[in-house]
Amino acid sequence: MSDTDLGARSERGSEYADLLRLVRGAGLLDRQPGYYALRVTLVLGCPAAVGLLSVRLRPSWWQTAVAAAFGVLLAQAALAHLRTIGTGAVRPGGDRF
């Protein structure tokens, strides 16, 4: 059986077992600590940067741009939470514009 032939069942295991072997063989289940470190840095760093910018600007017209950036961050967080709890309201991977 070739790696891409999922239609034919192997002599041992189910179709799921065949698919799991294929996915593991491609390395798709390997841990990626660099990716998660980047995500944590962005998730914690972006709101901190927007908050610091808001404090540094004080009352000015630039606060509208900061408010828009904060709105985008809040929308991202809300959509990520919808995807996490599985309401079906958001397609998988559809939380980024």
Sign of CA dihedral 9, 14, 16, 22: negative
- The phi-psi region of residue 56 (left if phi > 0; otherwise alpha if psi is between -120 and 50; otherwise beta) is alpha
| 63-84 residue pLDDT tens | 999 999 999 999 988 887 777 7
The predicted pLDDT at position 39 comes to 87
| 3-44 residue pLDDT tens | 555 555 556 678 999 999 999 999 888 888 898 899 889 889
Q: Are 53 and 73 in contact (CB under 8 A)?
A: no
pTM, 2 dp: 0.55
Structure tokens at 13: 């295991």
Sign of CA dihedral 82, 87, 90, 92: positive
Domain ranges across the chain: 1-30, 35-97
The label of the residue with tokens 């998730």 reads: 43
